[in-house]
Structure 1
């Protein structure tokens, strides 16, 4: 009885302590202009036992500590470029709002930093790496992209900006999201001299930020904190150029800044392969300008007309909005040569093709966040795309055996498609006062409709049996409608000062309706002969329910989270023709996930994440209809497909030494998939029925999707960076090792394609002065490809890329720019160019007051060697593809820079905009 009484007393004491626990909130701002300071490090220390709690401010400079017991506390705030802030206060039981906490500018000025020889590079604040823009010197007209690529761990791979080995998927400016499809545009449309600091972190999903419960979904994010004297005014650039071979370019971009309101307008018309125009554009549309959506130098010769608008603002005190509209009209002409070597035979496939595609698209994205009050928040994100595509493909393909042609096929495909895509996501969150309970509801809808018409012509010569030559002239009418919706309900409850429990229920439904009808040409009657074997009407309906608990435990040093989900799913489908065939699949899965993070110090941590997911087969994979758009590579669907089950492992370690400015990180990615959907290839007899009037093309390889186990891949990478003060240069060493194992079936025999990759790269970027800016990088990649079915087809190949970029301003405003790239390809197929040198350069003269104008003469691909080569590795073949690229031309360009800021003026942002991150850990930082 005594023990029971003692236990009851302890329980009452704990409950009383919880009841007396409260919250501590505040807003961190700059003392000089009242602007918020996102990403500031906030430490709360209890005086009695020195117990610490740590968080970081969100995009509005807000922070929040929950479950704070009564007592005396000390609050410390650190932010680069500002003096440290300290305040003592008492917690007596009621919520404590510390209000606006003003940080003073650091007393150490730029001249004092220069005496030391170098501005501090930055610091690590928990999950956030923050870099000081003053430590990286760039040219006067450089973009933010050129600034960040000088920073440790930030690189450009195939035109995509990567940070810490991952693609950057989200850009923020002063904590506000830049909404749009191409995040690289946001980076290129911000001037480098506007940036005070750059933060690199893994942002949580909107749902995690609203619920306060980390769901493990992260996106690599760059947040640009702008200088306070650059937040009101406008800046921009306009360029016009004309060159040889009737090459032209006319583009402009204008950025308007007025406190919370930011407006960017861009426009471009050109035929030199530029997809967008930006602040940091190279005169004449050099290598840095010729990048497609999502990066990479685009293949082909491309005419582009585009208009873009990006808007960010705060309406009233509680509504944050951002939106993006883009119109693009693009005409692409691309010739390709393709050589494919098959695993299981001596047959090879060659193809010469001419491809022309015209795209006309309107894209709209919008984001509205309404902080209703202290306990309620609403987020609405609609999107709309209206697009028209016209494409023409002419193909001359051959199957060859021992230097003798088996089949030659001449065919063309001319089609037009109109599509509309609409989506909307609504997220609502309610917090039950200071109880630690949060309810989050999410509803998502997606609708897509697509209508197309196409003509296919074929003339195939059968050299083994000329009597079986094939001539085909068909019209194809297709219509597809897809609708999906999903609802999610989360309820989370704090169990104590460091732990939280969440219950989740999710239901989703995806409906697809596809109707494809083929008609043969009848002489004198037109396309009026319905071809049922090559037609298909198919509907599918996928319903899934997922539910289960999640537990989270978090301290200053470590955090742990465990999620368990049980999923019930049903896939139903029905085909009307070529034959009626019902389909039903039931799936039951357990979907566990876990995450662990440990902070050795404020600048050194490790994170491990494990997750699982499923993926149902697509409509195209399920449709049991023969597709002979490429007569030598026919394919057919498989209604018996099961869904994939994927396991993913992610591990990352990183450290940053603020004293030596050395940064090091390494990571590991691993994936293993059960019932992996791959291709089963048939070169002889096929286990499915073919149309009676179908004529076999010698050497043709039928492809049908199948479920196979055994797929897995793993990749590890590292990056080491530090400044080399003796030559005023930043040094980066990066590398990776990867391995993938892809299963496939070839004539009922199992084959594993194993691909091992080793990559090592070195990068040097200048930090000398604003008048000398260079970047030198060299990267080598060695690949080993082997197949278990036929080892004689194993292949090793090596690629090496060396790049030099130099911008220098010398005598009386003369500007010289050069970009030199050497590419070596070893071990590729015969007939494919193995190496080339791409050399672009320009010579310009600054004119007008403050050198706002420039006239330049540029040459692209001076040596006329530019080519595009890509190697693809699949389960049953290895192929090399060489594509058309834009080659040498000369261009005269006039450029004018617009720039006007109200120095020292900044908006009064001392407003109550609603709560920050409710979970006490904003933005994944």
Structure 2
């Protein structure tokens, strides 16, 4: 019996010992310089079972993390191109084992024989997908944007980057922020040649990274890992060109472009410059729209937006400069700094047309307008991030920011809205609107986060606070037609072109002054406590206060001199408001072996205290109580498959301008009125991501699904041709009258697939993407306007449903740096229906673009660059077709001994067919619109690539180009081909 018991115990102890596992960490560095080596391949072999080999790669800063190895002895071999292999052994006998620094000694550079191996395209670790830049060959002086366009699951449209179905909010370089939130500038400021890997991941907020508690405020980000040999030196690209436009009659005949970027890297100290000056509509930046001039600013509960937007439609002359600086200070590198400053000045001219058909259930009318605008804009933007690691357990981060924006727009729009009454239309009205404004404003603020670990692992506190102040002025002169609708067709009679403007036009002239200011205070406290080895609970309290003041005064003047005038109370709007929002709630987090589940719930109370400053001093007070939640699950099935699920809710409270019971008759043909009974919207959101990365075969598959539904959606109630409306003794006969009201039933569903694979016999990468998006938007149509309250009674609900199908295929060459081509096709098919349409007919339209780009470098350094894009828009329901072919051709010659220079001669829009056309649908309408574009011009351009690497600033290829990427498949020497002129391969401009 004793022997049996002893044997059993020994067996159990042996099994337990055998089952024990430990984690291993290490850092791979250069033995001579001490610099980290990224992408080194580690081969791990158990001594007892040598057939069970495992492979790992060193990540950012050379870090190696092997989460789980069975206890025992292992042999390790570390390899990287240009270094001698490092062979060693170690034993795992504890839960955590550190191998310290694995030092690789540089080997002999062999240039006589080069064996090219098939590069690994992607790898995956948790929610991070890493793209090996060496597997995607581009021309030698292409920028990061050109590299991203060849990677599966990533799309770049007008400088906006979307990865795995989500918009990328920030770009990091070696883990450090690069040009703040301006993704467009970031991807155009680094050459593709400097990139070793591109990592796509879900970036946690600053507070969540320290506490480990995902607070749901993260975002999609890109981390560009630079090649080790290019972290010491200077590199970049400079270019200048001059051209002539023989076809234009309205734009500048002489064309010019100059600019470039320069990067000075010295270890952790890095500075990057970017500049662009041209009148050919090349734009490489976004700006912070603090004035709301692009339709996205303003925002709720504070008025001053913080939105990075692309410039508006039209042809722009651009002057832009920017600088980004980052460094690390202190004996223990405890202080890190990143900052950027950007300035741009634009002058944008635009000639636009709109054709808008109102269909059932609306009255069948047509709106046809022509417009011209000239807008001058100035933007200054500064932001910085200073992080101080006070100690191992304390951390302080400060983010100061400042932006200034000036906007000087001039615009004129004329046209008609018409529909013969005999055919069911509502009559004829003249559109004549003019505006000349001067807007300027600034936004200054800072945020700070203090984080501390309280001894026990997982026990933390986080204090987060911010302050911002904004001030802006908006002065304008404008006129608008207030003439009532006529039943008589213009030009009726013997001469159909003759019509008397006095019969259809009665202009009202306005001079407006609208200064406003706002400030916001925000703070939060978060406490986390471990409750088990892999679990934490948290408690968070948040408070914010937003205050805003606005004093708009409008004066009706006698003529277009806009002098003097009488204050019009209906067009004037002065108010002050304060929004206090508080939320508190617990959270729970479970994380084991990179599998994570997080759940947070909050009770939220928002209180609005406002006042409309008029003779009767209308008070507006509202309080809202809500419960919001956030849940996230991350499941890493294995090294190649991962699932990620987000489920959350959020609220959006109406602003004081939404709630005020006053009319807006600034456009007499489109009058609106506030709704004091509006409630906050309450939305539920679901996001699901599945990623599969087959490293051996170089295949990548991604599936994304999202759902968004909103209760109490802020919907428009629209009455077309409401008849005569008397407001404060003045009679109006507008085309449209609208208010807002809460309706349930807003839905948006979207799914997106992406699949990429290499095609060996073509030496190319093939990526295919497809998606479906469904949107249902509720609204109210029709009814009667109550002159006493300004509200609309009656009417019927109309649900506008849009179903869109999109498909994109891209074939990108991977032959060599001397032959680079990309072929792509993308198409979108849309169907729109309105529930009030009795016959339930669908508005169907389709648009697609086929595009090809080619660059070839011939012997003796001659180059040929060309691009062609054919775009077509087809309206099936309205029997509409619009198409054009955009073709650019350039011939070039490499110059200088190292062939870093290139002289190019070419033509933009060879057939002079370029257009900017778009189609959209809404509640009872279809709209076609066009905007100005750059047409055909001829240009001579010179490009020069700056390359100077190594501690002594060597120009020798051996000092930097011999250091290959982790794949060893790409060799980019200075004699490689030059890239196309900036914007050469972009779509219509």
Q: Does 1:248 align with 2:264?
A: no
**Pairwise mapping of residues 31-430 of structure 1 onto structure 2 (< 5 A)?**
31=31, 33-36=33-36, 87-88=90-91, 98=98, 100-102=100-102, 104=104, 115=115, 117-244=117-244, 245-276=253-284, 299-316=313-330, 317-342=333-358, 343-402=361-420, 406-430=428-452
Q: Which moved more, 1:336-345 or 1:813-822?
A: 336-345
Taking a change above 3 Å as real, the CA distance of residues 462 and 690 of structure 1, as seen in their structure-2 partners, is closer
Q: Which moved more, 1:73-82 or 1:123-132?
A: 73-82
- Matched-pair contact (CA < 8 Å) for 1:775–1:806: yes
Q: Does 1:592 align with 2:629?
A: yes
The DSSP-based 3-state class of the residue aligned with 1:247 is: strand
Taking a change above 3 Å as real, the CA distance of residues 78 and 664 of structure 1, as seen in their structure-2 partners, is farther
State the distance in 2 between where 1:573 and 1:344 align: 37
Which protein has greater RCO, CA pairs closer than 8 Å, 6+ apart? 1
Q: Give the aligned partner of residue 987 of structure 2.
A: none
- Deviations, residues 262-311 of structure 1 (Å, cap 9, x unaligned): 11112222110112399xxxxxxxxxxxxxx9787963121111111111
Q: Which moved more, 1:371-380 or 1:675-684?
A: 675-684
- 1:173 Cα offset (Å): 1.5
Q: Unaligned stretches of 5+ in structure 1?
A: 1-20, 48-53, 279-292, 907-925
Q: Give the aligned partner of residue 530 of structure 1.
A: 567
Taking a change above 3 Å as real, the CA distance of residues 31 and 206 of structure 1, as seen in their structure-2 partners, is farther
- Matched-pair contact (CA < 8 Å) for 1:142–1:192: yes
- Matched-pair contact (CA < 8 Å) for 1:832–1:882: no
Taking a change above 3 Å as real, the CA distance of residues 511 and 296 of structure 1, as seen in their structure-2 partners, is closer
Q: Give the aligned partner of residue 10 of structure 1.
A: none
Q: Give the aligned partner of residue 503 of structure 1.
A: 539
Q: Give the aligned partner of residue 693 of structure 1.
A: 730
**Pairwise mapping of residues 646-657 of structure 1 onto structure 2 (< 5 A)?**
646-657=683-694
TM-score (norm 1): 0.86
State the distance in 2 between where 1:484 and 1:431 align: 29
- 1:474 Cα offset (Å): 1.2
The DSSP-based 3-state class of the residue aligned with 2:207 is: helix
Taking a change above 3 Å as real, the CA distance of residues 691 and 26 of structure 1, as seen in their structure-2 partners, is farther
- 1:150 Cα offset (Å): 1.9
The DSSP-based 3-state class of the residue aligned with 1:812 is: helix
- Matched-pair contact (CA < 8 Å) for 1:381–1:425: yes
The DSSP-based 3-state class of the residue aligned with 1:336 is: strand
- Deviations, residues 734-772 of structure 1 (Å, cap 9, x unaligned): 100110000111122111100001111211000001100
State the distance in 2 between where 1:264 and 1:696 align: 57
The DSSP-based 3-state class of the residue aligned with 2:147 is: helix
Number of residue-to-residue matches in the alignment:
861
1:785 pairs with 827, 832, 839, which one?
832
- Deviations, residues 800-847 of structure 1 (Å, cap 9, x unaligned): 111111111113111111111111111189798611111112111111
Q: Does 1:464 align with 2:467?
A: no
- 1:876 Cα offset (Å): 4.5
The DSSP-based 3-state class of the residue aligned with 2:830 is: strand
The DSSP-based 3-state class of the residue aligned with 2:860 is: helix
Q: Give the aligned partner of residue 871 of structure 2.
A: 823
Taking a change above 3 Å as real, the CA distance of residues 746 and 109 of structure 1, as seen in their structure-2 partners, is farther
Taking a change above 3 Å as real, the CA distance of residues 23 and 842 of structure 1, as seen in their structure-2 partners, is closer
- Deviations, residues 883-905 of structure 1 (Å, cap 9, x unaligned): 11111111111222221111688
Q: Give the aligned partner of residue 812 of structure 1.
A: 860
Q: Give the aligned partner of residue 51 of structure 2.
A: none
Q: Does 1:438 align with 2:467?
A: no
Q: Which moved more, 1:342-351 or 1:396-405?
A: 396-405
Q: Does 1:740 align with 2:784?
A: no
Q: Unaligned stretches of 5+ in structure 2?
A: 1-20, 48-54, 245-252, 287-306, 488-501, 783-794, 961-989
Q: Does 1:871 align with 2:919?
A: yes
- Matched-pair contact (CA < 8 Å) for 1:408–1:460: no
- 1:621 Cα offset (Å): 2.7
Q: Which moved more, 1:878-887 or 1:321-330?
A: 878-887
- 1:577 Cα offset (Å): 2.6
- Matched-pair contact (CA < 8 Å) for 2:26–2:102: no
Q: Give the aligned partner of residue 750 of structure 1.
A: 797
2:744 pairs with 693, 696, 709, which one?
709
Q: Give the aligned partner of residue 842 of structure 2.
A: 794
- Deviations, residues 306-326 of structure 1 (Å, cap 9, x unaligned): 111111111222111111111
- Matched-pair contact (CA < 8 Å) for 1:822–1:837: yes
State the distance in 1 between where 2:113 and 2:203 align: 32
- Matched-pair contact (CA < 8 Å) for 1:139–1:770: yes
Q: Which moved more, 1:827-836 or 1:416-425?
A: 827-836
- 1:490 Cα offset (Å): 0.6
CA RMSD after TM alignment: 3.7
Q: Give the aligned partner of residue 835 of structure 1.
A: 883
- 1:518 Cα offset (Å): 0.8
- 1:547 Cα offset (Å): 0.8
Q: Give the aligned partner of residue 577 of structure 2.
A: 540
The DSSP-based 3-state class of the residue aligned with 1:145 is: helix
Q: Does 1:728 align with 2:750?
A: no
2:945 pairs with 879, 897, 901, which one?
897
2:678 pairs with 641, 665, 690, which one?
641
- Matched-pair contact (CA < 8 Å) for 1:535–1:577: no
